[in-house]
Chains A and B, each alone.
Chain A
Amino acid sequence: GESVGLHLPTLSVQEGDNSIINCAYSNSASDYFIWYKQESGKGPQFIIDIRSNMDKRQGQRVTVLLNKTVKHLSLQIAATQPGDSAVYFCAENMGDAGGTSYGKLTFGQGTILTVHP
Chain B
Amino acid sequence: DGGITQSPKYLFRKEGQNVTLSCEQNLNHDAMYWYRQDPGQGLRLIYYSQIVNDFQKGDIAEGYSVSREKKESFPLTVTSAQKNPTAFYLCATNKRKGTEQYFGPGTRLTVT
Which of the residues B41, B56, B101 comes within 8 Å of A105, measured between beta carbons? B101
Instruction: Report yes or no: A105 in contact with B104, Cβ–Cβ below 8 A.
Output: no
Binds B, one of A13-21, A37-45, A63-71: A37-45
How far in angstroms is the closest Cβ of chain A from B31?
A: 5
Bound CA span A34–B98, Å? 10
Bound CA span A43–B25, Å? 14
Which of the residues A45, A101, A110 comes within 8 Å of B103, measured between beta carbons? A45
Interface residues on B, range: 20 to 34
Which residues of chain A have C-beta atoms less than 8 A from B100's C-beta? Answer: 34, 46, 49
Which of the residues B50, B97, B103 comes within 8 Å of A44, measured between beta carbons? B103
Bound CA span A46–B93, Å? 12
Check A109/B50 contact, CB under 8 A, given A51-B98, A103-B31: no
Bound CA span A85–B59, Å? 29
Bound CA span A36–B33, Å? 16
Instruction: Report yes or no: A43 in contact with B42, Cβ–Cβ below 8 A.
Output: no
Bound CA span A81–B48, Å? 35
Which residues of chain A have C-beta atoms less than 8 A from B58's C-beta? Answer: 104
Can you name 19 extra interface pairs (CB under 8 A) apart from A102-B31, A103-B33, A103-B96?
A: A34-B101, A42-B105, A43-B4, A46-B100, A93-B98, A100-B56, A101-B97, A102-B48, A102-B97, A103-B31, A103-B48, A103-B50, A103-B97, A105-B43, A105-B101, A108-B42, A109-B40, A109-B42, A110-B40
List 24 A-B pairs, Cβ < 8 Å: A32-B98, A36-B103, A43-B4, A43-B90, A43-B92, A44-B90, A46-B100, A46-B101, A46-B102, A91-B43, A96-B97, A100-B56, A102-B31, A103-B33, A103-B96, A103-B98, A103-B99, A104-B58, A105-B45, A105-B101, A107-B43, A107-B44, A109-B40, A110-B40
